[in-house]
Amino acid sequence: MDALEFAESIYLCLPYEPNEQQIKLIASLARFVTQDNTGSPRVFLLNGYAGTGKTSLTGALVQALRPTGIPVVLMAPTGRAAKVFGAYASYPASTIHRRIYRTDTSAGPSDYSRSLAENKLHNAIFIVDEASMIGNDTDGEGKSLLSDLIEYVYSAEGCRMILLGDTAQLPPVGLDKSPAMEPDTLRAHGLKVSHAVLTKVVRQDAHSGILLNATRLRRQMTVTPCPLPSLILNRFPDCSSIPSEELEDAISQSYYSEGEGNTLVITRSNKRAVLFNLAIRSRILGREEELCVGERIMVAKNNYLWSAKIPALDFVANGDMAIVERVYGTEEKYGFRFADVSLQLYDRDITFDCKIMLDTLISESPALEPARTNALYMAALNDTDLFAPTHSIKSRMRALRSDPYVNALQIKYAYAVTCHKAQGGQWPSVFIDPGFIPPDSSSIDILRWFYTALTRSTGSVRIINAPTEITGGTSEQS
């Protein structure tokens, strides 16, 4: 198979006529896939902005690869992102963790550990979506997911990788840039980098207000110094402003027409997310109890304990969303409140029993605060009901690796979330709460925040109390 033949195969799998920029990308991808794979390991880095056809092109690439006999593996950082990726590529996708790590429980539940799995494929193409979400340290154990991913893929003969992302989105928490989307970072890992950028919005999406504003925001990011966001609202039906007094009715209507799971409020802080969640539960859903069957919750911290005995579940990821199917009971221990529940991870179609921590439901911090985490750990470490005085500190610490209270799943309500928590997912109906924007806010972070929030929607976006600072005082600004 030569590059021209394979490029024609990709072209024929596209559901539309590609523009000039896309045709050049098809040619580059065809060369990457078909050229001799000896010498330095190679990676293809594709930065595709919202509405530029990256999704369709990737799907066409996957479909063109299937009859060639070349093994194809699709991955994404989270279960939600993997499900979205697999749907638009019409091909199975998994989380990066599930693919590259193995969990060893042979020595007993208190000795489970994770290690890098063996890549048993040869000459395979690994395609990773939402690569801009991959950070330097994503699991809190000092491991670099990016480094492990590279080591796994290139440990087998002839394998190569395509990284898909959008550098206009928010980078991982605590970072200014997305490491996996930086060519210099990839070269530092010994990879030869091919790099392409898609910037031109495809013709059939030209009348979308969401994509119009996403494109405007991306262009504003190139200005020095960065200005405040400038949006055009109410010109198109899919992107509008809404006053707060109409919000309750609008969310209620969205729940009725789209469903709770297809409606999301994105806000700027954990504190505001708590306020929205409490208001939605009481005023729209009419829930008085702290936790109800049918409750939609979001995981606030990676957890490896509850997945250790479930073959289909690699780990429960920070940002995973679930539905409470059963509440078996609640209890207090070590000064914290817990519940035993059955959860359905609807992004992964998996149901499992676990212990959850209720204290984090309305906490204003992203997860349990470090001081309280340490207090919980020390209380369990010194629990005389668990350990005799003769037990060494080392043996106690080892046992606590499987303690259900220390490792209780930390959760929050999932009706309103921060933008970082929403990243990697898509919802038909999105409400954006920009909150207060200080007059001196000219940071690129504000632009990236709006861009990421806008592009979470596949249907409509409504901005709550849109500040005049971002509309110029009129929603019809051009």
- Quote the CA–CA distance of 430 and 427 in Å, as a whole number: 6
Which residues touch 111 (CB under 8 Å, ≥6 apart)? 104, 105, 398, 401
pLDDT in tens, 87-124: 889 999 988 988 998 866 544 444 455 789 999 999 99
Beta-bridge partners for 193:
43
pLDDT digits (tens), the chain, 478 positions: 789 999 999 999 998 889 999 999 999 999 999 988 777 899 999 999 998 989 889 999 999 999 999 999 999 998 888 888 998 899 999 889 889 988 665 444 444 557 899 999 999 999 999 999 998 764 444 568 999 999 999 999 999 999 999 999 999 888 889 999 999 999 999 999 999 999 988 755 667 899 999 999 999 999 888 888 889 998 899 999 999 999 999 999 999 999 999 999 999 999 999 999 999 999 999 999 999 999 999 999 888 899 887 877 778 888 889 999 999 999 999 999 999 999 999 877 889 999 999 999 999 999 999 999 999 999 999 999 999 988 999 999 999 989 999 999 999 999 999 999 999 899 999 999 998 776 666 588 899 999 999 999 999 999 999 887 777 555 554 3
Kindly list the structural domains of the chain, giving each domain's residue range(s) and its CATH number in brackets, ordered by start: 3-201 (3.40.50.300), 204-289+416-471 (3.40.50.300), 296-413 (no CATH)
The pairing of strands 427-433 and 263-267 is: parallel
Length of the chain: 478
Q: How many CA atoms lie within 13 A of 37 on its CB side?
A: 19
Instruction: List, for residues 11-53, the tens digit of each pLDDT value.
Output: 999 988 899 999 999 999 999 999 887 778 999 999 999 989 8
- Residues facing 46 on adjacent strands: 164, 196
CA-nearest of 72, 184, 74 to 131 is 74
- For residue 67, say if its preceding peptide bond is cis, omega within 30 degrees of 0: no
Q: Which residues pair with 103 in a beta bridge?
A: 114
Name the β-bridge partners of 345: 350
**80-102 CB burial, b ≥16 within 10 A, e <16:** bbbbbbbebbebebbbbbbbbbe
Residue 441's Cβ-count burial label (10 Å; 0-12, 13-18, 19+) is middle
Query: How far apart are the C-alpha atoms of 354 and 391, rounded to whole Å?
Result: 27
What tokens were used for 404?
A: 């259900």
Q: Are strands 416-418 and 239-242 parallel, antiparallel or unpaired?
A: unpaired
Query: CB-based burial of residue 42 (10 Å sphere; 0-12 exposed, 13-18 middle, 19+ buried)?
Result: middle
